[in-house]
Amino acid sequence: MENRRKNIKLSKYFFNQINSRSSIDLVIKRLKKEGIYSVDFGDIDFLSRAAAHQLVSLHNKLSNEGIDLTYVNVSNTVNSMIEKVEKSTTNSLKHATFVKHLNITEESDLKDFLMQV
Amino acid sequence: MIIQTTRDDALGKQLLSIRDFLLEVNPLIINSKMVELDFCAYQYSPPLLGIFFAAFLEGYPKCQAFNIASTGYLNYQYFPFGLKPEDIEEWEQLLDAYKSKSYLPLIRFSTLKNDYATQTRNNVISHVNLMIGRITGMPANYKSAISYLLSEISDNIVDHSRAENGWISFQYYPQKGYLDLCIADAGIGLLQSYKEYKGEKDYSHISNHLEAVEYVIKGESTKDMQERGYGVHTSREILLKGLKGKFVMFSGNGLMIDYNLLDFQCHYDGTLVMFRIPCGNYDHNFGIYSFVE
């Protein structure tokens, strides 16, 4: 069965980075139902969080369509991003969202504030 | 209307230049059929001003630019219409020619999702990252941060702005020890993106631009897929806590500088994001994955 696994080399489409959701979509839409694939991350040293999320989300959907997908030649950095996204599916709490409201109404105060930036 | 620029790279000064321009031009746009913008005095284009005017001209076809210098520095920057990689087969070589400069040309990338535009956009962003690394000499862990910032914000433009193009500008200041990286669009802005949302979540309470900026930071995405909305606030945290840089986001009249949100008392329909990143004294222990959620 593994001999029928088709290799999809991402570096055939992209340079060394996958930077967007649509980049993942470009590859995924080429997969056929009931197909068996290896997504080859060879020469890819960065996967954006958005792209990793798209991949993880679609992977589950593809499994339901009978598509067997594995990842090969995954660098440590790419693996770190995939793991972060997979972890967020069970805990989607967002940190670092602090916002401090500045109530500046006078133009002179606004200029004073900006000149200190 | 004569367009002014500034050689002062203080962020506040550049933001005030943008504000002064918008306060003057917005009433003219409302009351006139055409507004002529004279760039005779615009001899220097810092990345924030350059990207702002480029995106503004794209978004307001009623405003016509003239007297833009056709030789020299502005020409190398491809100001104001940008270098459009989808239209230039040899865009990689063109960008490579900037390796000995301290800036890159204004880049105008398509937001289309067909295969060609997607592949080109992905690879342009990769190559911009590569060029920033070459120009600044920054180590790999900092290059990953640039990759993160650029990819997340540009992808937001593709998914949310409804703009035809996104923009990237970059300048390195080796004497001052930092770089400026800006990403912008002439799209519908953050508030309108929430207003046009049709889905299961309720964003009807988001009624002004400041609230829209705040909700973007809090990770409230207008895409229904779960576990979205991480790009902007983690980018901000990587920049502020990890890189010790400065963060600017401007949409409508909402202006965010670092963690501070205020009424900019002027209006821009699109969205503009700027990262100012210190260079040198690199922390070898820094890594983006301690910030990624």
DSSP states of chain A: -GGGPEEEEGGGTSSSEE--HHHHHHHHTTPPTT-EEEEE-TT--EE-HHHHHHHHHHHHHHHHTT-EEEEES--HHHHHHHHHHHHHTT---------EE----SHHHHHHHHHT-
Let me know if residue A115 belongs to a domain.
no
Would residue A84 count as lying in a domain? yes
Size of interface A-B (CB pairs under 8 A): 160
Whether the pLDDT of residue B218 is over 80: the answer is: yes
What confidence score (pLDDT) does residue B69 get? Answer: 83
Chain A residue with minimum CA distance to B10: A117
pLDDT class of B212 with cuts at 50, 70, 90: very high
Average pLDDT over residues B21-27: 95
> By the CB < 8 Å criterion, does A113 face chain B?
yes
Question: What burial class does residue A5 get, using C-beta atoms within 10 Å of its C-beta: 0-12 exposed, 13-18 middle, 19+ buried?
Answer: middle
Q: What is the mean pLDDT of chain B?
A: 93
Q: What pLDDT does B73 receive?
A: 85
User: CATH number of the domain that A11 lies in?
Assistant: 3.30.750
Is A100 domain-assigned?
no
**Cβ count near B282 (within 10 Å):** 14
* β pairing state of B246-257 and B260-278: antiparallel
CB within 8 Å: B265 and A95: no
Structure tokens at A26: 């470009």
Q: Which of A59-68, A94-103, B29-38, B98-107 has the highest mean predicted lDDT (pLDDT)?
A: B98-107
Q: How far is B80 from chain A (nearest CA, A)?
A: 25
User: How would you write the pLDDT of chain A (117 residues) with one tens digit per residue?
Assistant: 555 899 999 999 999 999 999 999 999 999 988 899 999 999 999 999 999 999 999 988 898 889 999 999 999 999 999 999 998 877 666 777 899 999 999 999 999 999 998
Flag if B10 and A95 touch (Cβ within 8 Å).
no
Put residue B8 in one of left, alpha, beta given phi > 0 → left and psi -120 to 50 → alpha. Answer: beta
Contact A87, B230 (CB under 8 A): no
Q: Which of A15, A49, A88 sits opposite B126 (nearest CB)?
A: A15
**Of the candidates A20, A84, A117, which has its C-beta nearest B151's C-beta?**
A20
Contact across the interface for B263 and A94, Cβ inside 8 Å: no
Global ipTM? 0.92
Chain B residue with CA closest to A23: the answer is B118
* Contact at CB, A14 and B126, closer than 8 angstroms: yes
pLDDT of residue B92: 97
Q: What confidence score (pLDDT) does residue B224 get? A: 58
Amino acid residing at A4: R
Q: Tell if the CB–CB gap between A20 and B15 is shorter than 8 Å.
A: no
What pLDDT score does B110 carry? Answer: 97
Residue of B14, B118, B154 best to disrupt the A interface, most CBs of A under 10 A: B118
Residue B243, both tokens: 């890189």
pLDDT at residue B228 greater than cutoff 70? no
pLDDT at residue B179 in the model: 98
pTM of this prediction?
A: 0.95
Chain B residues with beta carbon closer than 8 angstroms to that of A16: 126, 130
Residue with the two structure tokens 């433009």: B157
**Per-residue pLDDT at A39:** 95
Phi-psi region of A99 (alpha: psi -120 to 50; beta: other; left: phi over 0): beta
* Structural domains present in chain B: 79-290 (3.30.565.10)
Q: By the CB < 8 Å criterion, does A110 face chain B?
A: yes
Residue B93 has pLDDT above 80, yes or no: yes
CA distance A113 to chain B (A): 8
pLDDT bucket at B106, cuts 50 / 70 / 90: very high
Least confident of A38-52, B138-152, B212-226: B212-226
Instruction: Give B134's contacts in chain A (Cβ within 8 Å).
Output: none
Nearest neighbour of A110 by CB, restricted to B155, B234, B265:
B265
Position A101 in a domain: no
Domain interval for residue A49:
2-92
Q: CB-based burial of residue B218 (10 Å sphere; 0-12 exposed, 13-18 middle, 19+ buried)?
A: middle
Q: Which residues is B166 bridged to in the sheet?
A: B109, B185
Cβ <8 Å between B12 and A94: no
pLDDT of residue B22: 97
| Percent of chain B whose pLDDT exceeds 70 | 98
A18 domain-assigned: yes
φ/ψ (deg, to 5) at B137:
70, 20
CA distance A33 to A81: 27
**Residue at A79 is within a domain:** yes
List chain A residues with CB under 8 Å of B218: 94, 97, 99
Max Cα separation, chain B? 56
Question: C-alpha distances in angstroms, B225 versus A56, A65, A80?
Answer: 12, 19, 21
Q: Give the mean model confidence (pLDDT) for residues B136-161.
A: 95
In a domain, A44, yes or no: yes
Any CB–CB contact under 8 A between A36 and chain B? no
Query: Average of pLDDT values for B2-16?
Result: 91
Domain count, chain A: 1
Cβ contacts of B189 within 8 Å, gap of 6 or more: B161, B209, B212, B251, B252, B268, B269, B270, B271
Question: Do the beta carbons of residue B243 and residue B286 sit within 8 Å?
Answer: yes
Asked if residue A97 belongs to a domain, the reply is no
Could you say which of B227, B241, B260 has the minimum Cβ distance to residue A100? B260
* Contact flag A117-B12 (C-beta cutoff 8 Å): yes
